[in-house]
A and B are shown apart, each in its own frame.
Chain A
Protein backbone atom coordinates (compact mmCIF):
# COMPACT_ATOMS: atom_id res chain seq x y z
CA UNK A 1 0.00 0.00 0.00
CA UNK A 2 1.35 3.39 -1.01
CA UNK A 3 1.55 6.01 1.76
CA UNK A 4 0.07 9.33 0.63
CA UNK A 5 -0.56 11.10 3.92
CA UNK A 6 1.64 10.47 6.94
CA UNK A 7 0.83 11.44 10.50
CA UNK A 8 4.05 12.33 12.32
CA UNK A 9 3.24 11.38 15.91
CA UNK A 10 6.27 12.92 17.56
CA UNK A 11 7.95 16.25 18.15
CA UNK A 12 11.36 17.87 18.18
CA UNK A 13 14.15 17.27 15.74
CA UNK A 14 12.93 13.81 14.66
CA UNK A 15 9.57 15.27 13.62
CA UNK A 16 11.36 17.85 11.45
CA UNK A 17 13.60 15.07 10.11
CA UNK A 18 10.66 12.85 9.06
CA UNK A 19 8.78 15.80 7.52
CA UNK A 20 11.87 16.63 5.42
CA UNK A 21 11.85 13.16 3.84
CA UNK A 22 8.09 13.40 3.25
CA UNK A 23 8.61 16.67 1.37
CA UNK A 24 11.32 15.08 -0.76
CA UNK A 25 9.17 12.04 -1.57
CA UNK A 26 5.95 13.97 -2.22
CA UNK A 27 4.16 12.48 0.79
CA UNK A 28 1.79 14.87 2.57
CA UNK A 29 2.92 15.33 6.17
CA UNK A 30 0.56 16.06 9.05
CA UNK A 31 2.17 16.78 12.39
CA UNK A 32 0.33 15.66 15.51
CA UNK A 33 1.36 18.36 17.99
CA UNK A 34 0.60 18.98 21.64
CA UNK A 35 -0.58 22.44 22.64
CA UNK A 36 3.01 23.33 23.57
CA UNK A 37 4.23 22.53 20.05
CA UNK A 38 1.55 24.06 17.80
CA UNK A 39 3.89 26.85 16.70
CA UNK A 40 7.12 24.84 16.68
CA UNK A 41 9.47 24.67 13.70
CA UNK A 42 8.22 21.17 12.79
CA UNK A 43 4.66 22.59 12.83
CA UNK A 44 5.76 25.26 10.35
CA UNK A 45 7.48 22.69 8.16
CA UNK A 46 4.62 20.17 8.06
CA UNK A 47 1.96 20.51 5.38
CA UNK A 48 -0.65 20.50 8.13
CA UNK A 49 -0.90 20.23 11.91
CA UNK A 50 -3.48 18.45 14.02
CA UNK A 51 -3.87 19.00 17.75
CA UNK A 52 -3.00 15.96 19.78
CA UNK A 53 -3.76 17.11 23.32
CA UNK A 54 -2.46 19.16 26.23
CA UNK A 55 1.25 19.80 26.76
CA UNK A 56 2.05 17.02 29.28
CA UNK A 57 3.17 14.01 27.24
CA UNK A 58 0.87 11.62 29.11
CA UNK A 59 -2.13 13.48 27.64
CA UNK A 60 -0.69 13.81 24.11
CA UNK A 61 2.42 12.07 22.77
CA UNK A 62 2.01 9.10 25.12
CA UNK A 63 -1.71 8.52 24.47
CA UNK A 64 -2.25 5.87 21.75
CA UNK A 65 -5.98 6.65 21.49
CA UNK A 66 -5.25 10.35 20.90
CA UNK A 67 -2.75 9.49 18.16
CA UNK A 68 -5.17 7.21 16.34
CA UNK A 69 -7.99 9.78 16.69
CA UNK A 70 -5.70 12.41 15.15
CA UNK A 71 -4.76 10.08 12.30
CA UNK A 72 -8.40 9.33 11.58
CA UNK A 73 -9.41 13.00 11.83
CA UNK A 74 -7.00 13.96 9.04
CA UNK A 75 -7.43 10.79 7.01
CA UNK A 76 -3.79 9.73 7.38
CA UNK A 77 -2.97 6.34 5.91
CA UNK A 78 0.12 5.85 8.07
CA UNK A 79 1.61 6.89 11.43
CA UNK A 80 5.31 7.50 12.01
CA UNK A 81 6.05 7.26 15.74
CA UNK A 82 9.62 8.64 15.68
CA UNK A 83 11.67 7.51 18.71
CA UNK A 84 10.76 7.51 22.39
CA UNK A 85 7.12 8.16 23.34
CA UNK A 86 4.95 5.40 21.76
CA UNK A 87 7.46 4.21 19.16
CA UNK A 88 8.00 0.80 20.77
CA UNK A 89 4.64 0.53 22.51
CA UNK A 90 2.66 -2.40 21.09
CA UNK A 91 -0.61 -0.68 22.02
CA UNK A 92 -0.12 2.04 19.37
CA UNK A 93 0.82 -0.56 16.75
CA UNK A 94 -2.28 -2.58 17.71
CA UNK A 95 -4.58 0.45 17.68
CA UNK A 96 -3.28 1.43 14.22
CA UNK A 97 -3.84 -2.10 12.97
CA UNK A 98 -7.40 -2.08 14.31
CA UNK A 99 -8.05 1.26 12.58
CA UNK A 100 -6.60 0.08 9.28
CA UNK A 101 -3.70 2.53 9.47
CA UNK A 102 -0.12 1.58 8.62
CA UNK A 103 2.21 1.74 11.65
CA UNK A 104 5.68 2.73 10.44
CA UNK A 105 7.50 0.25 12.62
CA UNK A 106 7.84 -3.44 13.27
CA UNK A 107 4.99 -5.88 13.83
CA UNK A 108 3.23 -6.12 17.18
CA UNK A 109 4.90 -9.55 17.62
CA UNK A 110 8.38 -8.08 17.11
CA UNK A 111 7.64 -5.24 19.55
CA UNK A 112 6.63 -7.79 22.17
CA UNK A 113 9.62 -10.01 21.38
CA UNK A 114 12.20 -7.31 22.04
CA UNK A 115 10.29 -5.12 24.51
CA UNK A 116 10.78 -7.38 27.51
CA UNK A 117 14.48 -7.83 28.36
CA UNK A 118 14.26 -11.50 29.27
CA UNK A 119 12.20 -12.37 26.19
CA UNK A 120 14.67 -10.48 24.00
CA UNK A 121 17.53 -12.33 25.68
CA UNK A 122 15.96 -15.70 25.01
CA UNK A 123 15.29 -14.77 21.35
CA UNK A 124 18.92 -13.71 21.05
CA UNK A 125 20.06 -17.05 22.48
CA UNK A 126 17.80 -18.94 20.09
CA UNK A 127 19.23 -16.95 17.18
CA UNK A 128 22.73 -17.95 18.32
CA UNK A 129 23.88 -14.61 19.72
CA UNK A 130 26.27 -14.43 22.65
CA UNK A 131 24.60 -12.89 25.71
CA UNK A 132 26.23 -11.58 28.85
CA UNK A 133 26.62 -14.59 31.16
CA UNK A 134 23.76 -14.56 33.64
CA UNK A 135 20.14 -15.50 34.07
CA UNK A 136 16.89 -14.91 35.89
CA UNK A 137 16.94 -14.86 39.67
CA UNK A 138 13.58 -16.19 40.83
CA UNK A 139 14.70 -16.42 44.45
CA UNK A 140 17.86 -16.23 46.53
CA UNK A 141 18.82 -19.86 45.88
CA UNK A 142 18.39 -19.30 42.14
CA UNK A 143 20.41 -16.10 42.33
CA UNK A 144 23.23 -17.88 44.20
CA UNK A 145 23.34 -20.55 41.50
CA UNK A 146 23.54 -17.94 38.71
CA UNK A 147 26.14 -15.93 40.65
CA UNK A 148 28.29 -19.03 41.06
CA UNK A 149 28.45 -19.29 37.27
CA UNK A 150 29.06 -15.66 36.33
CA UNK A 151 31.25 -14.62 39.27
CA UNK A 152 31.60 -11.22 40.95
CA UNK A 153 31.18 -8.33 40.45
CA UNK A 154 27.79 -8.77 38.84
CA UNK A 155 24.73 -6.67 38.07
CA UNK A 156 21.17 -7.18 39.26
CA UNK A 157 18.89 -5.83 36.53
CA UNK A 158 15.14 -5.26 36.52
CA UNK A 159 13.36 -7.07 33.68
CA UNK A 160 11.16 -4.01 33.24
CA UNK A 161 14.08 -1.58 33.40
CA UNK A 162 16.26 -0.23 30.63
CA UNK A 163 18.30 2.79 29.73
CA UNK A 164 20.32 2.31 32.89
CA UNK A 165 17.32 2.31 35.20
CA UNK A 166 16.86 -0.56 37.61
CA UNK A 167 20.47 -1.73 37.78
CA UNK A 168 22.50 -2.56 40.89
CA UNK A 169 26.08 -3.76 41.21
CA UNK A 170 27.01 -6.55 43.61
CA UNK A 171 30.70 -6.89 44.44
CA UNK A 172 30.72 -10.00 46.61
CA UNK A 173 28.60 -12.95 47.70
CA UNK A 174 27.73 -11.48 51.10
CA UNK A 175 26.02 -8.50 49.43
CA UNK A 176 23.84 -10.63 47.18
CA UNK A 177 20.87 -11.33 49.46
CA UNK A 178 20.46 -7.74 50.54
CA UNK A 179 20.83 -6.25 47.04
CA UNK A 180 18.47 -8.84 45.56
CA UNK A 181 15.76 -7.88 48.07
CA UNK A 182 16.28 -4.21 47.42
CA UNK A 183 16.32 -4.59 43.63
CA UNK A 184 13.16 -6.72 43.64
CA UNK A 185 11.13 -4.29 45.72
CA UNK A 186 12.43 -1.28 43.78
CA UNK A 187 11.65 -2.98 40.46
CA UNK A 188 8.10 -3.70 41.63
CA UNK A 189 7.63 -0.06 42.65
CA UNK A 190 9.31 1.53 39.64
CA UNK A 191 8.26 -0.77 36.79
CA UNK A 192 5.28 -2.68 38.20
CA UNK A 193 7.29 -5.86 37.59
CA UNK A 194 9.38 -7.35 40.42
CA UNK A 195 11.35 -9.74 38.18
CA UNK A 196 15.11 -9.30 38.17
CA UNK A 197 18.00 -11.12 36.53
CA UNK A 198 21.74 -11.28 37.08
CA UNK A 199 24.47 -10.47 34.60
CA UNK A 200 28.26 -10.45 34.70
CA UNK A 201 29.59 -6.94 35.24
CA UNK A 202 31.84 -6.05 32.32
CA UNK A 203 34.44 -3.70 33.79
CA UNK A 204 35.44 -2.02 30.54
CA UNK A 205 32.73 -2.16 27.91
CA UNK A 206 31.95 -0.22 24.78
CA UNK A 207 28.46 0.40 23.47
CA UNK A 208 28.50 -0.73 19.85
CA UNK A 209 25.32 -1.18 17.85
CA UNK A 210 24.41 -2.47 14.42
CA UNK A 211 21.75 -0.83 12.26
CA UNK A 212 19.49 -3.34 10.54
CA UNK A 213 16.64 -2.99 8.08
CA UNK A 214 14.24 -5.82 7.40
CA UNK A 215 11.23 -6.40 5.17
CA UNK A 216 9.76 -9.29 7.15
CA UNK A 217 11.65 -12.03 5.35
CA UNK A 218 15.15 -10.79 4.74
CA UNK A 219 17.35 -8.16 6.34
CA UNK A 220 20.44 -6.08 5.65
CA UNK A 221 22.99 -4.62 8.08
CA UNK A 222 23.87 -0.99 7.47
CA UNK A 223 27.09 -0.83 9.44
CA UNK A 224 27.81 -0.21 13.09
CA UNK A 225 27.92 2.78 15.42
CA UNK A 226 29.79 3.48 18.62
CA UNK A 227 27.81 5.26 21.34
CA UNK A 228 30.12 4.76 24.31
CA UNK A 229 30.26 8.44 25.28
CA UNK A 230 27.42 8.53 27.78
CA UNK A 231 26.44 10.31 30.93
CA UNK A 232 24.05 8.41 33.17
CA UNK A 233 23.25 6.13 30.24
CA UNK A 234 22.31 9.09 28.04
CA UNK A 235 24.34 9.22 24.84
CA UNK A 236 26.10 12.48 24.03
CA UNK A 237 28.28 11.67 21.06
CA UNK A 238 28.05 8.90 18.47
CA UNK A 239 30.09 7.82 15.51
CA UNK A 240 30.12 5.42 12.58
CA UNK A 241 31.88 3.15 12.09
CA UNK A 242 32.94 2.12 15.60
CA UNK A 243 36.69 2.89 15.80
CA UNK A 244 39.49 0.41 16.52
CA UNK A 245 37.49 -2.81 16.48
CA UNK A 246 39.21 -6.04 15.48
CA UNK A 247 37.86 -7.14 12.07
CA UNK A 248 36.64 -10.46 13.43
CA UNK A 249 34.63 -8.75 16.18
CA UNK A 250 33.11 -6.29 13.74
CA UNK A 251 32.13 -9.03 11.29
CA UNK A 252 30.77 -11.11 14.17
CA UNK A 253 28.58 -8.25 15.35
CA UNK A 254 27.09 -7.73 11.90
CA UNK A 255 26.41 -11.43 11.53
CA UNK A 256 24.82 -11.55 14.99
CA UNK A 257 22.54 -8.59 14.27
CA UNK A 258 21.43 -10.11 10.98
CA UNK A 259 20.79 -13.48 12.61
CA UNK A 260 18.49 -11.87 15.18
CA UNK A 261 16.62 -9.80 12.57
CA UNK A 262 16.07 -12.88 10.41
CA UNK A 263 15.06 -15.00 13.41
CA UNK A 264 12.40 -12.40 14.32
CA UNK A 265 11.19 -12.02 10.73
CA UNK A 266 11.86 -8.37 11.41
CA UNK A 267 10.23 -5.67 9.30
CA UNK A 268 11.41 -2.08 9.69
CA UNK A 269 14.43 -0.26 11.04
CA UNK A 270 16.02 -1.74 14.12
CA UNK A 271 19.17 -1.46 16.15
CA UNK A 272 20.88 -4.37 17.81
CA UNK A 273 22.78 -3.04 20.82
CA UNK A 274 25.89 -4.94 21.81
CA UNK A 275 28.33 -4.69 24.67
CA UNK A 276 31.90 -4.98 23.48
CA UNK A 277 34.17 -6.28 26.22
CA UNK A 278 37.50 -4.49 25.73
CA UNK A 279 39.46 -6.92 27.89
CA UNK A 280 38.12 -10.13 26.38
CA UNK A 281 37.76 -8.59 22.86
CA UNK A 282 34.38 -10.21 22.57
CA UNK A 283 30.81 -8.98 22.46
CA UNK A 284 27.41 -9.73 23.93
CA UNK A 285 23.83 -8.94 22.96
CA UNK A 286 22.27 -6.24 25.16
CA UNK A 287 18.92 -5.35 23.62
CA UNK A 288 17.20 -4.48 20.39
CA UNK A 289 15.60 -1.12 19.72
CA UNK A 290 12.62 -1.45 17.40
CA UNK A 291 12.56 2.08 15.98
CA UNK A 292 14.64 4.74 14.33
CA UNK A 293 17.44 5.95 16.63
CA UNK A 294 18.51 9.48 17.51
CA UNK A 295 21.95 8.71 16.09
CA UNK A 296 20.73 7.32 12.73
CA UNK A 297 22.28 10.24 10.73
CA UNK A 298 25.85 8.98 11.21
CA UNK A 299 24.78 5.81 9.43
CA UNK A 300 23.11 7.88 6.72
CA UNK A 301 26.33 9.84 6.23
CA UNK A 302 28.56 6.80 5.74
CA UNK A 303 26.03 4.78 3.70
CA UNK A 304 24.50 7.61 1.67
CA UNK A 305 21.02 6.24 2.48
CA UNK A 306 17.88 8.03 3.71
CA UNK A 307 16.81 5.65 6.48
CA UNK A 308 13.38 7.25 6.90
CA UNK A 309 12.69 6.69 3.19
CA UNK A 310 13.70 3.03 3.52
CA UNK A 311 11.59 2.72 6.67
CA UNK A 312 8.54 4.08 4.82
CA UNK A 313 9.16 1.74 1.89
CA UNK A 314 9.17 -1.44 3.99
CA UNK A 315 6.14 -0.13 5.92
CA UNK A 316 4.36 0.07 2.58
CA UNK A 317 5.05 -3.63 2.21
CA UNK A 318 7.78 -3.27 -0.41
CA UNK A 319 10.67 -5.72 -0.39
CA UNK A 320 14.13 -4.40 0.56
CA UNK A 321 15.62 -2.17 -2.12
CA UNK A 322 19.15 -2.61 -0.86
CA UNK A 323 21.22 -5.76 -1.13
CA UNK A 324 23.92 -6.39 1.43
CA UNK A 325 26.63 -6.15 -1.24
CA UNK A 326 25.32 -2.66 -2.18
CA UNK A 327 26.03 -1.35 1.31
CA UNK A 328 29.31 0.54 1.00
CA UNK A 329 30.63 2.56 3.93
CA UNK A 330 32.50 5.74 3.03
CA UNK A 331 34.62 7.75 5.47
CA UNK A 332 33.70 8.41 9.08
CA UNK A 333 30.76 10.32 10.57
CA UNK A 334 30.26 11.77 14.04
CA UNK A 335 27.26 13.27 15.82
CA UNK A 336 27.23 15.76 18.70
CA UNK A 337 23.95 16.00 20.58
CA UNK A 338 23.24 19.62 21.42
CA UNK A 339 21.07 19.67 24.54
CA UNK A 340 19.55 22.60 26.44
CA UNK A 341 21.60 21.79 29.54
CA UNK A 342 24.16 23.61 31.65
CA UNK A 343 27.15 21.37 32.33
CA UNK A 344 28.68 23.96 34.66
CA UNK A 345 25.73 23.28 36.94
CA UNK A 346 25.41 19.52 36.92
CA UNK A 347 23.78 19.48 33.46
CA UNK A 348 20.82 21.45 34.77
CA UNK A 349 18.04 21.72 32.17
CA UNK A 350 17.76 25.07 30.43
CA UNK A 351 14.37 25.55 28.77
CA UNK A 352 13.38 28.96 27.42
CA UNK A 353 13.15 31.16 24.36
CA UNK A 354 15.72 30.83 21.60
CA UNK A 355 17.00 34.19 20.34
CA UNK A 356 19.14 33.16 17.40
CA UNK A 357 20.25 30.01 15.66
CA UNK A 358 23.29 30.19 13.41
CA UNK A 359 24.38 26.90 11.91
CA UNK A 360 27.52 25.79 10.10
CA UNK A 361 26.87 24.76 6.49
CA UNK A 362 28.94 23.07 3.84
CA UNK A 363 29.89 19.73 2.33
CA UNK A 364 29.69 16.92 4.85
CA UNK A 365 27.90 19.07 7.45
CA UNK A 366 24.36 18.53 8.62
CA UNK A 367 22.38 19.91 11.55
CA UNK A 368 19.06 18.28 12.44
CA UNK A 369 17.19 20.66 14.71
CA UNK A 370 13.72 21.81 15.71
CA UNK A 371 14.63 25.32 16.81
CA UNK A 372 15.20 28.64 15.09
CA UNK A 373 15.26 32.24 16.29
CA UNK A 374 12.04 32.85 18.21
CA UNK A 375 11.39 29.20 19.10
CA UNK A 376 10.31 28.33 22.61
CA UNK A 377 11.83 25.21 24.18
CA UNK A 378 9.13 23.92 26.52
CA UNK A 379 10.03 22.30 29.86
CA UNK A 380 7.76 19.29 29.30
CA UNK A 381 9.94 17.21 27.01
CA UNK A 382 13.56 16.16 26.64
CA UNK A 383 16.36 18.66 26.25
CA UNK A 384 17.60 17.73 22.77
CA UNK A 385 17.78 20.89 20.64
CA UNK A 386 19.54 19.41 17.68
CA UNK A 387 22.39 17.32 16.41
CA UNK A 388 25.51 18.35 14.55
CA UNK A 389 26.50 15.60 12.14
CA UNK A 390 29.85 15.72 10.37
CA UNK A 391 31.22 13.47 7.66
CA UNK A 392 34.99 13.25 7.11
CA UNK A 393 37.30 11.13 4.99
CA UNK A 394 38.48 9.43 8.17
CA UNK A 395 37.94 9.79 11.93
CA UNK A 396 40.62 12.43 12.48
CA UNK A 397 39.19 14.51 9.64
CA UNK A 398 35.63 14.16 10.97
CA UNK A 399 36.71 15.22 14.48
CA UNK A 400 38.66 18.23 13.19
CA UNK A 401 35.76 19.34 11.01
CA UNK A 402 33.34 18.85 13.91
CA UNK A 403 35.52 21.08 16.11
CA UNK A 404 35.53 23.80 13.43
CA UNK A 405 31.77 23.47 12.94
CA UNK A 406 31.09 23.71 16.70
CA UNK A 407 33.03 26.99 16.78
CA UNK A 408 30.62 28.39 14.19
CA UNK A 409 27.41 27.03 15.72
CA UNK A 410 25.41 29.48 17.82
CA UNK A 411 22.20 28.82 19.69
CA UNK A 412 21.50 31.94 21.75
CA UNK A 413 18.93 32.23 24.52
CA UNK A 414 19.42 28.95 26.35
CA UNK A 415 22.51 27.23 27.74
CA UNK A 416 23.64 24.35 25.53
CA UNK A 417 26.07 21.44 25.63
CA UNK A 418 28.21 22.86 22.80
CA UNK A 419 31.10 23.55 25.25
CA UNK A 420 30.99 19.93 26.40
CA UNK A 421 31.63 18.77 22.85
CA UNK A 422 34.38 21.32 22.33
CA UNK A 423 36.17 19.99 25.41
CA UNK A 424 35.49 16.38 24.43
CA UNK A 425 36.93 16.82 20.94
CA UNK A 426 40.06 18.37 22.44
CA UNK A 427 40.66 15.39 24.75
CA UNK A 428 43.58 13.14 23.81
CA UNK A 429 42.11 9.89 25.15
CA UNK A 430 38.89 10.49 23.25
CA UNK A 431 40.74 11.47 20.07
CA UNK A 432 42.66 8.20 20.22
CA UNK A 433 39.33 6.35 19.83
CA UNK A 434 37.64 3.34 21.37
CA UNK A 435 36.86 4.75 24.82
CA UNK A 436 34.62 2.70 27.12
CA UNK A 437 31.28 3.70 28.64
CA UNK A 438 32.98 4.78 31.88
CA UNK A 439 35.20 7.26 30.04
CA UNK A 440 32.88 10.26 30.05
CA UNK A 441 32.25 10.31 33.81
CA UNK A 442 36.04 10.24 34.30
CA UNK A 443 36.40 13.01 31.73
CA UNK A 444 33.88 15.15 33.64
CA UNK A 445 35.85 14.76 36.88
CA UNK A 446 38.76 16.62 35.31
CA UNK A 447 37.02 18.90 32.81
CA UNK A 448 33.77 20.13 34.30
CA UNK A 449 34.13 23.91 34.84
CA UNK A 450 33.12 23.57 38.47
CA UNK A 451 31.16 20.72 39.85
CA UNK A 452 27.65 22.01 40.31
CA UNK A 453 25.16 20.49 42.67
CA UNK A 454 24.44 16.95 41.65
CA UNK A 455 20.73 16.68 41.08
Chain B
Protein backbone atom coordinates (compact mmCIF):
# COMPACT_ATOMS: atom_id res chain seq x y z
CA UNK B 1 0.00 0.00 0.00
CA UNK B 2 1.00 3.63 -0.25
CA UNK B 3 0.50 6.58 2.00
CA UNK B 4 -2.30 8.73 0.66
CA UNK B 5 -1.71 12.45 0.12
CA UNK B 6 -3.73 13.03 3.33
CA UNK B 7 -1.42 10.67 5.26
CA UNK B 8 1.62 12.53 3.95
CA UNK B 9 0.11 15.87 4.94
CA UNK B 10 -0.46 14.53 8.46
CA UNK B 11 3.21 13.53 8.61
CA UNK B 12 4.10 17.05 7.44
CA UNK B 13 2.06 18.70 10.18
CA UNK B 14 3.79 16.60 12.82
CA UNK B 15 7.19 17.42 11.35
CA UNK B 16 6.46 21.11 10.99
CA UNK B 17 5.57 21.47 14.66
CA UNK B 18 8.53 19.35 15.76
CA UNK B 19 11.09 21.53 14.03
CA UNK B 20 12.64 18.49 12.32
CA UNK B 21 13.86 18.87 8.75
CA UNK B 22 13.72 15.30 7.52
CA UNK B 23 11.95 12.05 8.23
CA UNK B 24 12.81 8.69 6.74
CA UNK B 25 10.29 5.90 7.10
CA UNK B 26 10.91 2.27 6.18
CA UNK B 27 7.98 -0.10 6.28
CA UNK B 28 7.58 -3.59 4.86
CA UNK B 29 5.74 -2.29 1.81
CA UNK B 30 7.14 1.20 1.31
CA UNK B 31 9.85 3.72 2.02
CA UNK B 32 9.15 7.42 2.45
CA UNK B 33 11.47 10.37 2.87
CA UNK B 34 9.93 13.72 3.71
CA UNK B 35 12.30 16.66 3.57
CA UNK B 36 12.12 20.38 4.32
CA UNK B 37 13.48 22.32 1.32
CA UNK B 38 14.29 25.59 3.04
CA UNK B 39 11.56 28.17 2.71
CA UNK B 40 10.33 26.62 -0.53
CA UNK B 41 8.29 23.92 1.18
CA UNK B 42 8.44 20.18 1.57
CA UNK B 43 9.13 17.25 -0.71
CA UNK B 44 8.33 13.57 -0.40
CA UNK B 45 10.07 10.65 -2.05
CA UNK B 46 7.96 7.55 -1.80
CA UNK B 47 8.62 4.08 -3.13
CA UNK B 48 6.02 1.37 -3.00
CA UNK B 49 7.93 -1.89 -2.51
CA UNK B 50 4.95 -4.21 -2.45
CA UNK B 51 5.12 -6.75 -5.28
CA UNK B 52 2.09 -6.85 -7.57
CA UNK B 53 -0.28 -9.74 -6.87
CA UNK B 54 -0.66 -11.14 -10.37
CA UNK B 55 -3.67 -13.40 -10.94
CA UNK B 56 -2.85 -16.94 -12.02
CA UNK B 57 0.49 -17.03 -10.23
CA UNK B 58 3.70 -15.15 -10.61
CA UNK B 59 4.72 -16.69 -13.90
CA UNK B 60 6.81 -14.11 -15.68
CA UNK B 61 5.27 -12.71 -18.82
CA UNK B 62 6.65 -13.83 -22.11
CA UNK B 63 9.43 -11.29 -22.45
CA UNK B 64 8.71 -8.85 -25.23
CA UNK B 65 12.03 -9.13 -26.98
CA UNK B 66 13.33 -5.89 -28.38
CA UNK B 67 13.79 -6.44 -32.06
CA UNK B 68 17.54 -6.79 -32.52
CA UNK B 69 18.39 -8.33 -35.83
CA UNK B 70 21.98 -9.24 -36.62
CA UNK B 71 24.02 -6.22 -35.70
CA UNK B 72 26.92 -7.06 -37.95
CA UNK B 73 27.32 -5.11 -41.17
CA UNK B 74 29.84 -6.11 -43.82
CA UNK B 75 32.87 -3.90 -44.18
CA UNK B 76 32.34 -0.91 -46.37
CA UNK B 77 28.57 -0.88 -45.79
CA UNK B 78 26.68 1.47 -43.48
CA UNK B 79 23.89 0.49 -41.07
CA UNK B 80 20.87 2.76 -40.65
CA UNK B 81 19.78 2.67 -37.01
CA UNK B 82 16.66 4.10 -35.36
CA UNK B 83 16.96 7.62 -33.87
CA UNK B 84 15.22 6.24 -30.77
CA UNK B 85 13.65 2.94 -29.76
CA UNK B 86 10.13 2.17 -30.91
CA UNK B 87 8.04 0.36 -33.49
CA UNK B 88 9.50 0.53 -37.01
CA UNK B 89 7.34 1.05 -40.05
CA UNK B 90 8.72 0.76 -43.56
CA UNK B 91 5.70 2.45 -45.18
CA UNK B 92 3.71 5.60 -44.37
CA UNK B 93 0.55 3.53 -43.83
CA UNK B 94 -0.62 -0.08 -44.08
CA UNK B 95 -0.83 -1.25 -47.68
CA UNK B 96 1.26 1.64 -49.01
CA UNK B 97 4.54 0.92 -50.82
CA UNK B 98 7.62 1.11 -48.57
CA UNK B 99 9.58 4.34 -48.35
CA UNK B 100 12.60 2.58 -49.84
CA UNK B 101 13.50 -0.90 -51.06
CA UNK B 102 16.63 -2.78 -52.03
CA UNK B 103 18.28 -1.09 -54.99
CA UNK B 104 16.89 2.38 -54.21
CA UNK B 105 19.31 5.28 -54.07
CA UNK B 106 19.21 7.35 -50.90
CA UNK B 107 20.68 10.62 -49.74
CA UNK B 108 21.37 11.77 -46.17
CA UNK B 109 17.92 13.32 -45.84
CA UNK B 110 15.96 10.51 -47.54
CA UNK B 111 13.21 9.16 -45.25
CA UNK B 112 13.59 5.38 -45.11
CA UNK B 113 10.93 4.64 -42.47
CA UNK B 114 9.23 5.93 -39.34
CA UNK B 115 9.62 4.99 -35.68
CA UNK B 116 6.58 5.15 -33.43
CA UNK B 117 7.47 5.90 -29.83
CA UNK B 118 4.91 6.96 -27.23
CA UNK B 119 2.31 7.53 -29.96
CA UNK B 120 4.63 9.99 -31.71
CA UNK B 121 6.08 9.39 -35.16
CA UNK B 122 9.73 10.19 -35.86
CA UNK B 123 11.08 9.87 -39.39
CA UNK B 124 14.17 7.75 -39.92
CA UNK B 125 16.65 9.37 -42.30
CA UNK B 126 19.21 7.37 -44.24
CA UNK B 127 22.00 9.60 -42.94
CA UNK B 128 24.24 8.52 -45.81
CA UNK B 129 24.47 8.78 -49.57
CA UNK B 130 24.31 5.43 -51.35
CA UNK B 131 22.20 2.47 -52.42
CA UNK B 132 20.02 0.30 -50.17
CA UNK B 133 21.44 -3.24 -50.26
CA UNK B 134 19.39 -4.83 -47.48
CA UNK B 135 16.15 -4.14 -45.58
CA UNK B 136 16.79 -5.95 -42.35
CA UNK B 137 14.06 -4.82 -39.94
CA UNK B 138 10.56 -6.19 -40.42
CA UNK B 139 7.66 -3.77 -40.80
CA UNK B 140 5.72 -3.28 -37.55
CA UNK B 141 8.38 -4.82 -35.32
CA UNK B 142 9.79 -3.26 -32.21
CA UNK B 143 13.28 -1.87 -32.78
CA UNK B 144 15.73 -1.37 -29.94
CA UNK B 145 17.94 1.71 -29.97
CA UNK B 146 20.91 0.03 -31.69
CA UNK B 147 19.01 -2.17 -34.14
CA UNK B 148 20.00 -2.28 -37.78
CA UNK B 149 17.00 -1.24 -39.84
CA UNK B 150 18.62 -1.32 -43.24
CA UNK B 151 22.02 -1.42 -44.84
CA UNK B 152 23.33 1.07 -47.37
CA UNK B 153 26.28 0.73 -49.72
CA UNK B 154 27.90 4.16 -49.82
CA UNK B 155 30.44 3.11 -52.48
CA UNK B 156 27.69 3.02 -55.05
CA UNK B 157 27.03 6.70 -54.52
CA UNK B 158 29.88 7.71 -56.79
CA UNK B 159 29.49 5.09 -59.49
CA UNK B 160 27.28 2.25 -60.54
CA UNK B 161 24.23 1.56 -62.63
CA UNK B 162 21.83 3.25 -60.19
CA UNK B 163 23.34 6.66 -60.84
CA UNK B 164 20.71 9.18 -61.74
CA UNK B 165 17.97 6.55 -61.78
CA UNK B 166 15.84 8.60 -59.38
Binding site for B on A (CB under 8 A): 20, 23-24, 30-31, 33, 35-36, 38-41, 43-51, 54-56, 73-74, 189, 340-341, 347-349, 351, 356-363, 365-366, 372-374, 379-383, 404-405, 407-410, 455
Contacts and interface: CB of A to CB of B under 8 A. Distances in A.
Contact of A372 (B37, B47, B84, B85): B47
Contacts of A56: 87
Contacts of A33: 52
Contacts of A74: 55
Interface stretch (B56-64, B68-76, B99-107, B126-134): B56-64
Contacts of A41: 48
30 contacts: A33-B52, A44-B50, A45-B1, A45-B2, A45-B48, A49-B52, A49-B53, A49-B55, A50-B54, A73-B55, A73-B56, A347-B120, A348-B120, A348-B122, A349-B118, A357-B45, A358-B45, A361-B34, A361-B43, A365-B41, A373-B47, A379-B86, A379-B117, A382-B118, A383-B119, A408-B41, A408-B43, A455-B121, A455-B122, A455-B123
A49 B51 CA distance: 10
A352 B48 CA distance: 19
Contacts of B24: none
B64 A54 contact: yes
Given A44-B52, A47-B53, A50-B55, A379 B118 contact: yes
A359 B44 CA distance: 5
List of 8 A-B pairs having minimum Cβ-Cβ separation, nearest first: A43-B52, A35-B61, A349-B118, A383-B118, A50-B55, A349-B117, A361-B44, A44-B48
Given A47-B53, A50-B55, A362 B118 contact: no
B8 interface: yes
B115 to A, nearest CB: 9
Contacts, number: 132
Contact of B52 (A23, A36, A39, A359): A39
Given A23-B1, A43-B52, A360-B41, A51 B61 contact: yes
Given A36-B64, A49-B55, A189-B93, A360 B42 contact: yes
B164 interface: no
Interface string B145-157: 0000000000000
B117 to A, nearest CB: 4
Contacts of A189: 93
B4 interface: yes
B120 A55 contact: no
Given A44-B52, A49-B54, A51-B56, A359 B47 contact: no
A404 B117 contact: no
B120 A349 contact: yes
Contact of A379 (B43, B54, B85): B85
A51 B40 CA distance: 42
A43 B42 CA distance: 27
B4 A381 contact: no
A161 to B, nearest CB: 15
Interface string B87-114: 1000001000000000000000000000
Contacts of A381: 118-119
Contacts of A24: 4
B22 to A, nearest CB: 12
Contacts of B42: 360-362
B12 A361 contact: yes
Contacts of B9: 361-363
Contacts of B53: 46-49
A73 B62 CA distance: 20
A30 B93 CA distance: 36
Interface in B4-62: 4-5, 8-9, 12, 34, 37, 40-56, 61-62
A372 B61 contact: no
